[in-house]
Chains A and B, each alone.
Chain A
Amino acid sequence: MLQAARTMPDTLAHPAAADARPDLIVVQGVSKRFGSTAALQDVSLRGRAGSIHAITGENGAGKSTLMKLLAGVHQPDAGEIRMAGQRLQLRSPAAARAAGISTVFQELTVLPNLTVAENLVLGREPRRAGLLDHAAIHAEAQAVLSRIGITLDPQRSGASLTVGEQQLVEIAKGVSTDAQVFIFDEPTAPLNRAEVDKLEQLLHALKAQDKLVFYISHRLDEIFRLCDTVSVLKDGRWVATEPIGALTSERLITLMVGRELQALFPPRASTPPGVAALDVRSLTPLAGGASARLQLRRGEIVGLGGLEGQGQREIVRALAGALPPAACDVQRLGRDGQPQAYDPRQGVAHVVALGIGLVPEDRKLEGLYLDLPIADNIWLGLLRGLGLVRRAPRQRAVVTDLAKQLQLRAGSLTQDVGDLSGGNQQKVMIGRWLAAGVDTLLVEQPTRGVDVGAKAEIYGLLRAFVAEGGAVLALSSDLPELIGLCDRILVVRGGRVVGDVPAAEATEEGLLALALVDAPASAPGVPA
Chain B
Amino acid sequence: MTALRSGIRRTTLALPVVLFALLALAAPGFLAPQNLANIIGQITALLIVSLGQMLVALVAGIDLSVGSVMSLAGSLVATQADPLLGIGLALLLGLLVGVVNGLGVAVAGIHPLIMTLATATFLQGLAYLVLPIPGGEVPASLRSLVNGTLWGVPQPLLWCALCAGAVALLLHHTRLGLHLFAVGAQARSAQLNGVPVVAVTVSAYVACSLLAVVAGIYLAARVASGDPTMGASFGLESVTAVALGGVQLTGGVGSVLGVVTGALSLGLMTNGINLFGISPFLRGALTGVLLLAAVCAQRRKVVGL
Binding site for B on A (CB under 8 A): 71, 73, 92-94, 97, 103, 105, 107-115, 118-119, 122-125, 127, 130-132, 134, 155, 157-160, 173
Residue of B nearest to A68 (CB): B192
CB distance from B26 to the nearest CB of A (A): 39
Interface segment among B125-133, B153-161, B173-181, B263-271: the answer is B173-181
Query: Mask for B177-195, Cβ within 8 A of A = 1, else 0?
Result: 1100110111011111111
B174–A132 touching, CB < 8 Å: yes
Task: Establish whether residues B194 and A113, one from each chain, have CB atoms under 8 Å apart when the complex forms.
Answer: no
Partner of A160 from B1, B196, B304 at Cβ < 8 Å: B304
Q: Flag whether B143 is at the interface (Cβ < 8 A).
A: no
- Whether A112 lies near B192 (C-beta < 8 A) is no
Which of A92, A97, A108, A127 touches B175 (beta carbons < 8 Å)? A127
Nearest 4 interchain pairs by C-beta: A159-B304, A123-B194, A112-B304, A109-B189
The answer to whether B32 has its CB under 8 Å from any CB of chain A is no
- Least CB distance from A98 to B in Å reads 8
Write 23 A-B pairs (CB below 8 A) sorted by A numbering. Answer: A71-B192, A92-B191, A92-B194, A92-B196, A93-B191, A93-B194, A94-B196, A107-B189, A109-B186, A109-B188, A109-B193, A111-B182, A113-B4, A113-B303, A114-B181, A115-B4, A132-B174, A132-B175, A134-B1, A155-B1, A159-B304, A159-B305, A160-B304
Q: Could you list 14 further interchain pairs (A-B, Cβ under 8 angstroms) beyond the known A122-B190, A132-B174?
A: A71-B192, A109-B186, A109-B189, A110-B189, A111-B190, A112-B304, A114-B178, A114-B181, A119-B193, A123-B194, A132-B178, A159-B303, A159-B304, A159-B305
Q: Would A105 and B192 be within 8 Å (CB), given that A111-B185, A132-B178 are in contact? A: yes
* CB–CB B189/A125 < 8 A: no
Chain B residues with CB under 8 Å of chain A are 1, 4-5, 169, 172-175, 177-178, 181-182, 184-186, 188-196, 252-253, 303-305
CA distance A160 to B304 in the complex (A): 8
A162 CB to nearest B CB, Å: 14
Asked whether B304 lies within 8 Å of A122 as measured between CB atoms, the reply is no
Measured in the bound complex, the distance between the Cα atoms of B190 and A108 in whole Å is: 11
Chain B neighbourhood of A115, CB < 8 A: 1, 4
Q: Which residues of B contact A110 (CB under 8 A)?
A: 189
Interfacial chain A residues near B177, Cβ < 8 Å: 132
Contact B190 A157 (CB under 8 A): no
**Residues on the B chain within 8 Å of A119, using CB:** 193
Identity of the chain B residue whose Cβ is nearest the Cβ of A110 in the assembled complex: B189
Q: How far is the CA of A159 from the CA of B4 in the complex (A)?
A: 9
Q: Decide if B194 touches A114 in the complex (CB within 8 Å).
A: no
| A131 closest partner in B (C-beta) | B173
Minimum C-beta distance from B160 to chain A (A): 23
Q: How far is the CA of A125 from the CA of B303 in the complex (A)?
A: 22
Q: Are A131 and B194 in contact (CB under 8 A)?
A: no
Q: Find out whether the CB atom of B185 lies under 8 angstroms from the CB atom of A118.
A: no
Hey, which chain A residues are within 8 Å of B174, CB to CB?
130-132
Q: Name which residue of chain B comes closest to A130, CB basis.
A: B174
Expressed in whole angstroms, the Cα–Cα distance for A94 and B172 within the complex equals: 22
Name the distance in Å between B247's Cβ and chain A's nearest Cβ: 12
Cβ 8 A contact of A125, one of B178, B191, B305: B178
